[in-house]
């Protein structure tokens, strides 16, 4: 049965067309695999860089807060007033962010949509 289909394809000269078409499809699939690997690698690299920046920024914030609190303790000549002041600053920042969370969320959604549109082009 297979020989009959091969002879018909040769007779109609479609055998090279079928081979070229299957080769094209296989090449296209391999290209998509390579592109997916590249996108995954870029995403992982970007995630690792963001994690490193977050870690360094978090450590900076902790040590800056401790230094500021100790400075305020010495400035006011009290053993713990600096820590309370720094805590109050963080509490006020938290409350401001909490009150404006919908606006911040919509801003980030808008930025992400624009970034996705730019990536599609």
Q: What is the pLDDT of residues 12-60, one digit of tens each?
A: 666 666 677 888 899 999 999 999 999 899 889 999 999 999 999 999 9
Q: What is the pLDDT of residues 61-84, one digit of tens each?
A: 999 999 999 999 999 999 999 999
Q: Does pLDDT of 2 surpass 70?
A: no
Q: Does pLDDT of 7 surpass 80?
A: no
What is the model's pTM? Answer: 0.62
Asked if 15 contacts 9 with a C-beta cutoff of 8 angstroms, the reply is yes
Query: What pLDDT is recorded for position 115?
Result: 84
| Chain center to CA of 84 | 36
Query: What pLDDT is recorded for position 60?
Result: 98
Query: What pLDDT is recorded for position 54?
Result: 97
Q: Where are the domains of the chain?
A: 2-120
């Amino acid at each position: 049965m297979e020989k009959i289909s091969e002879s018909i394809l040769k007779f109609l000269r479609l055998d090279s067309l079928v081979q070229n078409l299957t080769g094209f499809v296989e090449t296209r699939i391999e290209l998509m695999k390579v592109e997916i690997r590249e996108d995954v690698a870029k995403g992982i690299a970007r995630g690792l860089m963001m994690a490193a920046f977050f870690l360094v920024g978090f450590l900076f914030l902790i040590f800056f807060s401790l230094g500021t609190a100790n400075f305020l303790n010495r400035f006011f000549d009290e053993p713990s007033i600096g820590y309370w002041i720094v805590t109050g600053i963080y509490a006020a920042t938290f409350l401001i962010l909490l009150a404006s969370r919908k606006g911040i969320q919509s801003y980030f959604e808008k930025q992400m949509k624009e970034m996705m549109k730019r990536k599609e082009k």
